[in-house]
Homo-oligomer: A and B are copies of this chain.
Amino acid sequence: MINTLVEKIKKTNAPIVVGLDPTLALIPKHVLKKNYDEYGADLNGVAKAIVEYNKTIVDAIYDIVPAVKPQIAMYETFGIPGLIAFKETVDYCKSKGLVVIGDIKRGDIGSTSTAYALGHIGKVTIEGKEFKGFDEDFVTVNPYLGTDGVKPFIDVCKEEKKGIFVLVKTSNPSSGEFQDRIIDGRPLYELVGEKVAEWGADCMGDSYSYVGAVVGATYPEMGKVLRDIMPKSFILVPGYGAQGGKGADLVHFFNKDGLGAIVNSSRGIIGAYKQEKYAQYGPANYGDAARAAVLDMKEDIVSALA
Seen from chain A, the residues whose Cβ lies within 8 Å of a Cβ on chain B are 21, 23-24, 36, 41-43, 45-46, 71, 73-74, 76-80, 82-84, 87, 105-113, 115-116, 118-120, 124, 126-127, 129, 131-134, 142-149, 167, 170-179, 181-184, 188, 191-192, 195
- With A172-B109, A181-B183, A183-B182 known as contacts, the answer to whether A119 contacts B73 (CB < 8 A) is yes
Q: How far is the CA of A108 from the CA of B172 in the complex (A)?
A: 9
User: Do the beta carbons of B115 and A76 come within 8 Å of each other?
Assistant: yes
- With A134-B79, A144-B143 known as contacts, the answer to whether A45 contacts B171 (CB < 8 A) is no
Q: How far is the CA of A191 from the CA of B174 in the complex (A)?
A: 14
Of all chain B residues, which has the CB nearest A149?
B172
When the two chains form the complex, which single residue of B36, B105, B173 contacts A108, counting CB atoms closer than 8 Å?
B105
Inside 8 A of A183's CB, which chain B residues have their CB? 181-183, 188
User: Do the beta carbons of A80 and B83 come within 8 Å of each other?
Assistant: yes
Of all chain B residues, which has the CB nearest A135?
B79
Q: How far is the CA of A129 from the CA of B24 in the complex (A)?
A: 14
User: Do the beta carbons of A148 and B172 come within 8 Å of each other?
Assistant: yes
- With A79-B132, A133-B78 known as contacts, the answer to whether A127 contacts B182 (CB < 8 A) is no
User: Do the beta carbons of B146 and A144 come within 8 Å of each other?
Assistant: no
Inside 8 A of A126's CB, which chain B residues have their CB? 24, 36, 41-43, 45-46
User: Do the beta carbons of B167 and A106 come within 8 Å of each other?
Assistant: no
Inside 8 A of A84's CB, which chain B residues have their CB? 80
What are 6 A-B contacts with C-beta separation under 8 Å?
Answer: A23-B115, A73-B106, A79-B87, A110-B172, A144-B179, A178-B188
Q: How far is the CA of A256 from the CA of B109 in the complex (A)?
A: 31
Chain B nearest Cβ from A130, distance in angstroms: 10
Select the residue from A43, A77, A106 with max chain B CB neighbours within 10 A: A77
Inside 8 A of A46's CB, which chain B residues have their CB? 124, 126
Inside 8 A of A127's CB, which chain B residues have their CB? 36, 41
User: Do the beta carbons of B43 and A78 come within 8 Å of each other?
Assistant: no
Q: How far is the CA of A79 from the CA of B133 in the complex (A)?
A: 4
User: Do the beta carbons of B119 and A145 come within 8 Å of each other?
Assistant: no
Of all chain B residues, which has the CB nearest A239?
B109
Q: How far is the CA of A46 from the CA of B115 in the complex (A)?
A: 14
Select the residue from A78, A144, A176 with max chain B CB neighbours within 10 A: A144
User: Do the beta carbons of B178 and A143 come within 8 Å of each other?
Assistant: yes
User: Do the beta carbons of B177 and A43 come within 8 Å of each other?
Assistant: no
- With A105-B107, A147-B177, A179-B146 known as contacts, the answer to whether A115 contacts B77 (CB < 8 A) is yes
Inside 8 A of A112's CB, which chain B residues have their CB? 21, 71, 73-74
User: Do the beta carbons of B80 and A80 come within 8 Å of each other?
Assistant: yes
Inside 8 A of A77's CB, which chain B residues have their CB? 115-116, 118-119, 124, 133
When the two chains form the complex, which single residue of B24, B79, B167 contacts A119, counting CB atoms closer than 8 Å?
B79
Report the 8 A-B pairs with minimum CB-CB distance, sorted nearest first: A79-B133, A146-B177, A146-B174, A77-B119, A109-B172, A77-B115, A41-B127, A73-B115
